């Protein structure tokens, strides 16, 4: 095991992964507050402090394990994770079904905004390359990782499978009776995602959307990334 390579991989990905996961959850709470539910604020979850959102398994163990696997194999990075869900009391929302869909959409939108932020960091890194390499190289490496993890989390969470964000968005826009039937899929959501993962269908579904958004950022910011 090349421990230097493992530690370098973790160092590059640690901050982008940590903030991609935790700010995703904070965004849910922030929008819920704007729509009438102060639960997340009362619990101290409206913060960029990642330690308020960390789940030991989803924010630490799973991403670190995947980073080590990535560092030790030629496989392309496939890093994901989750934070402690931000509680939302739908009874406090002004229009519960519609507002819950908006709250759900806030997480993937936060990931898109973070991907844009990291694209700017990559652009800055290339502008500094050759003059301030000690700043430029970390910006490029971490920025590239930040784009990857945020776009991946965005498209994954937009899958229309409850309890993923995309499932909650679909439920919120469906007619009430149809939405209630759709919500009954929630206990089976994780099983559905795992089946898609192990059959290879998840990659087939996500990768075209992933590459579309990554290539879009590369084009918009004129980044020389593959």
pLDDT in tens, 49-90: 887 888 888 788 877 777 777 666 655 556 767 788 888 998
pLDDT at residue 34, as a whole number: 94
DSSP for the chain, written as a single string: --HHHHHHHHHHHHHHHHHHHHHHHHHHHHHHHHTT--HHHHTT-SSS-GGGT--IIIIIIHHHHHHHHHHHSSSPP------PPPP--GGGSSSHHHHHHHHHHHHHHHHHHHHHHHHHHHHHHHHHTTTSHHHHHHHHHHHHHHHHHHHHHHHHHTSS-TTSHHHHHHHHHS-HHHHHHHHTTGGGHHHHHHHHHHTTHHHHHHHHHHHHHHHHHHHHTT----
Q: In 168-193, which positions are buried (b, 16+ CB within 10 angstroms) versus exposed (e)? A: bbbbbebeeeebeebbebeeeeeebe
In a domain, 178, yes or no: yes
Is 209 a residue whose pLDDT tops 80?
Answer: yes
Is 60 exceeded by the pLDDT of residue 1?
A: no
Q: Taking a C-beta distance cutoff of 8 angstroms, is the pair 171, 39 a contact?
A: no
Contact 26, 43 (CB under 8 A): no
**Residue 205 predicted with pLDDT over 90:** yes
Query: Is residue 134 a part of any domain in this protein?
Result: yes
**pLDDT, average across residues 150-158:** 95
pLDDT at 73: 64
What pLDDT is recorded for position 111? 97
Q: Is residue 204 domain-resident?
A: yes
Q: Is the pLDDT of residue 126 over 90?
A: yes
> 225 lies in a domain?
no
Q: Which residue has the higher pLDDT, 180 or 146?
A: 146
pLDDT band at 36 (very low <50, low <70, confident <90, very high): very high
Predicted confidence at residue 108, as pLDDT, reads 97
186 tagged catalytic? no
Q: What percent of the chain has pLDDT over 70?
A: 93
If pLDDT is split at 50, 70 and 90, which confidence band does 130 have?
Answer: confident
> What is the spatial distance between Cα 62 and Cα 13, in angstroms, rounded to a whole number?
13
In a domain, 226, yes or no: no
- Determine which one of 9, 17, 21, 25 is catalytic: 25
Among the residue ranges 6-15, 17-26, 43-52, 72-81, the one predicted with the least confidence is: 72-81
Per the structure, the complete domain to which residue 118 belongs is given by 3-85+94-220
Residue 13 belongs to a domain: yes
The per-residue pLDDT for 74 is 58
Q: Nearest 10 degrees: CA dihedral of 112, 113, 118, 120? A: 120
**pTM score:** 0.90
Mean predicted confidence (pLDDT) in 114-129? 96
The pLDDT score that the predictor gives to residue 43 is 86
Number of domains in the chain: 1
Residue 180 in domain = yes
């Amino acid at each position: 095991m090349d421990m230097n390579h493992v530690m370098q991989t973790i160092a590059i990905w640690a901050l982008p992964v940590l903030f991609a996961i935790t700010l995703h959850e904070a965004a849910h709470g922030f929008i819920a507050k704007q729509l009438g539910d102060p639960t997340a604020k009362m619990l101290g979850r409206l913060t960029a402090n990642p330690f308020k959102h960390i789940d030991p398994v989803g924010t630490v163990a799973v991403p670190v394990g995947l980073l080590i696997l990535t560092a030790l194999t030629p496989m392309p990075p496939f890093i994901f994770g989750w934070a402690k869900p931000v509680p939302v009391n739908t009874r406090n929302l002004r229009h519960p079904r519609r507002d819950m869909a908006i709250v759900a959409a806030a997480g993937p939108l936060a990931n898109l905004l973070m991907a844009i932020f990291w694209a700017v960091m990559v652009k800055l890194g290339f502008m500094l390359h050759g003059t301030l390499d000690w700043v430029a190289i970390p910006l490029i490496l971490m920025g590239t990782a930040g784009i990857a993890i945020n776009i991946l989390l965005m498209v994954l969470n937009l899958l229309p499978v409850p309890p993923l964000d995309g499932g909650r968005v679909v439920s919120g826009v469906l007619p009430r009776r149809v939405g209630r039937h759709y919500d009954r899929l929630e206990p089976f959501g994780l099983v559905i995602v795992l089946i898609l993962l192990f059959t290879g269908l998840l990659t087939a579904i996500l990768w075209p959307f992933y590459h579309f958004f990554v290539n879009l950022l590369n084009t918009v910011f004129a980044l020389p990334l593959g």
